[in-house]
Amino acid sequence: MEDVSSLAFIKSCQQNRFPLLFVDRIVECEPGKRVKATKNFTYNEWYFPAHFEDDPNVPGFVQVECLTQVFIMTFLTLEKYRGEKTSFVSIENVRFQRKLIPGDVLEIEAHLEKFRFGVASGSVQSWVNGEPAAQAQLTVAVPSVIEKLSPPKKQS
């Protein structure tokens, strides 16, 4: 059986790579249902010097990307979809509940609520030391699945 906690497994499931891979470890995985993962924020992250020099903290877009990368693992861990490209459809009800700083370990839990015709929707929450950090409702598409289900394009 594969070690789902490993970086190699994470990279076999999704196409994000350094410096934009924001999942360090899978803690729990129920493919097609839910995933728990972590992201360790170290001071040498590429965005800290610019955001901000006197008060380094994780930018909101990085937090949203962390949440999304864990969410897509809920269905990319299924053999049928492993390694597929994904694209955003919608990001709703995003809430940032605390500032993330160097040294924080973000714990993230994502739930797949619906996955039909190549479109996945669900919720994701995160915490640092049990304190809520961020949450969102996400809808993400798997373009290759949608292409297969779409009618053929007419020739001009």
Residues with catalytic function: 51
Contact 141, 89 (CB under 8 A): yes
SS (HEC) of 8-38: HHHHHHCCCCCCCCCCCEEEEEECCCEEEEE
Query: Would you give the DSSP letter of residue 153?
Result: P
Check residue 100 and give left, alpha or beta (phi > 0: left; psi -120 to 50: alpha): beta
Contact 72, 81 (CB under 8 A): no
CA distances from 33 to 37, 75, 89, 107, 117 (A): 14, 8, 19, 17, 16
Contact 72, 5 (CB under 8 A): no
